[in-house]
Amino acid sequence: MFRSKSFDMHRPIGFGSLSRACSMPNIKITMHDARMSLVVKEVDKNKAQKNVSTILYENMLNKDWLYEETSEPPDSFQQKWNDRYDESRRALVNILEEISRDIRPRQKLEKDILYFIAYFRGVPVGALLLYADGGSKGASSIEHMATHSGIRGCGVLLIEAAINKLLQLGMSGKVRTIASTNENARAYINMGFRHIDQYELILRPAKRNDKWNFIDGHYKYIGC
């Protein structure tokens, strides 16, 4: 659901829709290309809710993004693709549920909730929900992150934007998260995260200059 060097997107005629018109992963891009194609913005709660709903209910329709069942069992690639689709949908639903709550969880009251959306040619394709911790020793928490199942190179750009926003607010750039699957954990580790325990990981970009550069007051991911 997160970073990769492949990019499986084709935008057909018509705003706000994406299709699987390109055959599965057949477009290889570099991180530079991803930066040229994807834009991450901080948004308010209402826009985040609208954009995540667009990804979930308009841009990820089953008929466009799932391999259809046939009399033949799916091959390993098709099964992984469909599993990725299901995982993306679950994560997007979780974000919507979190955004829709009128009252923050008690343990989160002292923290600001920040929303980030990634766009591909103006179409929302990814979201990150961050609880910002202003404590001098604390690490902010990536509560949820999800991307369109057909996109690559999106997750790390969302994290990059979140880290730099924390610096802008005068906070530590450290972020924590929970990996729901082994595949997600591997993706986070590739971004420079390290395990705290079996499920929780932390990123200290200042200590990962093999993955992150600090230039002009901003962190930039370089670990492709």
Q: What is the reported pTM?
A: 0.79
Residue 1 lies in a domain: no
Q: Where are the alpha helices (DSSP H) in the chain?
A: 31-37, 45-57, 62-65, 76-100, 155-168, 182-190
Q: Please list the ranges in the chain whose pLDDT falls under 70.
A: 1-34, 62-63, 69-71, 74, 102-111, 134-137, 223-224
Number of structural domains found in the chain = 1
How far CA 22 is from CA of 30, 35, 56, 150, in Å, comes to 18, 20, 20, 10
Of 128, 157, 152, 150, whose CA–CA distance to 141 is shortest? 128
Residue 167 lies in a domain: yes
Q: Running DSSP on this structure, what letter comes out for residue 199? A: S
Residue 55 lies in a domain: yes
CATH number (domain holding residue 54)? 3.40.630.30
Residue 183 lies in a domain: yes
Residue 47 lies in a domain: yes
Residue 185 lies in a domain: yes
Q: Which two tokens stand for residue 3?
A: 């970073």
To the nearest 10°, the Cα dihedral for 188, 141, 118, 29? -10
Residues in the chain: 224
68 residue type, one letter: E
State in Å, rounded, how far the first CA of the chain is from the last one: 16
Residue 216 lies in a domain: yes
Domain that holds residue 65: 40-101+111-221
Residue 54 lies in a domain: yes
